[in-house]
Chain A
Amino acid sequence: MTKIKTQTISPQNENILIRLKRVESQFGYIPEESITEVAQSLDLPVSEIYGVATFYSFLATKPLGRNVIWVCQNLPCHLKHAEITIDNLERTLGIKPGETTSDNKFSLELTNCIGACDYAPAMLINRDLHGNLTPNKISQILKLYK
Chain B
Amino acid sequence: MAEVKVTINGAQTSGREGVTILELAQENGIKIPTLCYLTELSPTGACRICIVEVEGSRTLVGSCHTPITPGMIIQTHSPKVLATRKVIIELLFASHCGFCMLCNKANVCNLRELAADLDVGLSPFQTRKRFYPIEDNPYIQIDRTQCILCRKCVRACREIAENGILGIAYRSFDTKIVIDNDQPLAQDTCRDCDICISVCPTGCLSKPKKLSAAKTGKPLIIC
Q: Interface of A with B (CB < 8 Å)?
A: 1-4, 32, 35-36, 44-51, 53-55
Indicate whether A45 sits within 8 Å of B165 (C-beta atoms), given known contacts A4-B158, A50-B182. Answer: yes
> Is the C-beta of B181 less than 8 angstroms from some C-beta in chain A?
yes
B102 nearest CB across to chain A (Å): 29
Residues of A within 8 A of B169 (CB): 47, 50-51, 54-55
A47 touches B170 (CB 8 A): no
Most buried by B among A1, A2, A3, A44: A1
Residues of A within 8 A of B179 (CB): 47
Q: Closest A-chain residue to B179, C-beta based?
A: A47
Main SS at interface, chain A: helix
Q: How many Å lie between the Cα of A47 and that of B158 in the bound state? A: 10
Instruction: Given A4-B158, A47-B154, output 11 extra A-B contacts at Cβ < 8 Å.
Output: A2-B163, A4-B162, A4-B163, A45-B165, A45-B180, A47-B165, A47-B167, A48-B164, A51-B168, A54-B170, A55-B171
Q: How many Å lie between the Cα of A32 and that of B168 in the bound state? A: 17
A47 touches B190 (CB 8 A): no
A50 touches B164 (CB 8 A): no
- Name 30 A/B residue pairs within 8 A (Cβ), A-sorted: A1-B163, A2-B163, A2-B164, A2-B165, A3-B162, A4-B162, A4-B163, A36-B181, A44-B164, A45-B163, A45-B164, A45-B167, A45-B180, A46-B167, A47-B154, A47-B165, A47-B167, A47-B168, A47-B180, A47-B181, A48-B167, A49-B181, A50-B167, A50-B178, A50-B180, A50-B181, A54-B169, A54-B171, A55-B170, A55-B171
> Is the C-beta of B92 less than 8 angstroms from some C-beta in chain A?
no
B16 nearest CB across to chain A (Å): 28
Indicate whether A47 sits within 8 Å of B171 (C-beta atoms), given known contacts A1-B190, A32-B181, A35-B181. Answer: no
Q: Closest B-chain residue to A50, C-beta based?
A: B181
A47 touches B162 (CB 8 A): no
Q: How many Å lie between the Cα of A35 and that of B158 in the bound state? A: 18
Interfacial residues of chain B within 174-194, with CB under 8 A of chain A in the complex: 178-182, 190
> Is the C-beta of B89 less than 8 angstroms from some C-beta in chain A?
no
The 8 A CB mask of B180-211 against A (1 = contact, 0 = none) is 11100000001000000000000000000000
Residues of B within 8 A of A44 (CB): 164
Most buried by A among B154, B166, B167, B170: B167
Q: How many Å lie between the Cα of A28 and that of B135 in the bound state? A: 32
A3 touches B182 (CB 8 A): no
Q: Closest A-chain residue to B171, C-beta based?
A: A55
Residues of B within 8 A of A3 (CB): 162-163
Most buried by A among B162, B170, B181, B190: B181
